[in-house]
């Protein structure tokens, strides 16, 4: 348990070139590549769907503390470069996540 406590202390905020697995919530099952921080929000590129996700600092910190956001790995430079290209192609470096796609089925 002490090893995991040490990891939690190191992982206080997302880092560039890293991919994170989402284990619960609206983005469950997605992999998030950290791209930038803008207006107090962390901006991620979601894999495999290539959605741009704007997530508040409070939500990210809560997800880290509750192990909903788990570090997967640091991406190789070539892979991160492709993610950056996809992110730029989306044309979304600012704004909010107004139409969040949920992985849970709807009743409609």
Q: In this predicted model, what pLDDT tens digit does every residue of 22-54 receive, in sequence order?
A: 999 889 999 999 999 988 899 999 999 999 999
Q: What is the C-alpha separation between 54 and 36, in angstroms, rounded?
A: 10
Q: What is the C-alpha separation between 17 and 24, in angstroms, rounded?
A: 22
**Residue 90 pLDDT greater than 80, yes or no:** yes
pTM over 0.85: no
Task: Provide the residue ranges of all domains of the chain, joining segments of one domain with +.
Answer: 15-90
Count CB neighbours of 49 within 10 A: 9
pLDDT of residue 102: 36
Alpha-carbon distances of 46 from 1, 60, 84, 91, rounded to whole Å: 30, 14, 12, 14
Q: In this predicted model, what pLDDT tens digit does every residue of 60-72 receive, in sequence order?
A: 989 988 889 999 9
Q: How far apart are the first and last CA of the chain?
A: 44
CATH code for 15-90? 2.30.30
């Amino acid at each position: 348990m002490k090893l995991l406590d040490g990891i939690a202390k190191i992982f206080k905020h997302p880092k560039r070139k890293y991919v994170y697995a989402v284990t619960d919530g609206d983005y469950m099952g997605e992999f998030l590549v950290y791209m930038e921080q803008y207006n107090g929000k962390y901006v991620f590129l979601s894999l495999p769907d290539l959605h741009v996700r704007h997530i508040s600092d409070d939500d990210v910190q809560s997800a880290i503390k509750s192990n909903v956001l788990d570090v997967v790995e640091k991406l190789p430079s070539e892979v991160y470069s492709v993610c950056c290209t996809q992110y730029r192609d989306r044309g979304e470096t600012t704004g909010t996540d107004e139409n969040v796609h949920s992985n849970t089925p709807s009743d409609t």
